[in-house]
């Protein structure tokens, strides 16, 4: 049991140090902002992709029917 505690004790110390570190909170905030930017970008690209696919399908249909 002492050996297991000896292995877990450094992890708890690291966890306690990270909880008290304010720089970690700032890094998490920047990470969340970056994630929101990526999600917004993906959503807008998805919308543009749908419009573009519809446009090319329309072009393809007109070419097929023009023969």
What pLDDT, in 10s, does the model give residues 10-64? Answer: 888 887 887 776 767 788 889 999 999 999 999 999 889 989 999 999 999 999 8
Length of the chain: 67
d(CA 1, CA 3): 5
pTM for this entry: 0.49
CA distances from 59 to 50, 51, 53 (A): 14, 12, 10
> Cβ contacts of residue 18 below 8 Å, gap of 6+?
24
The gap from C-alpha 15 to its chain's centroid, in whole angstroms, comes to 24
Helix (H, G, I), strand (E, B) or coil at 1: coil
């Amino acid at each position: 049991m002492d050996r297991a505690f000896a292995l877990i004790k450094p992890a708890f110390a690291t966890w306690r140090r990270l909880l008290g570190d304010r720089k970690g909170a700032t890094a998490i905030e920047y990470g969340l902002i970056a994630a929101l930017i990526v999600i917004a970008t993906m959503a807008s690209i998805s919308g543009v992709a749908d419009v573009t696919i519809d446009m090319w399908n329309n072009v393809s249909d007109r070419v097929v029917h023009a023969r």
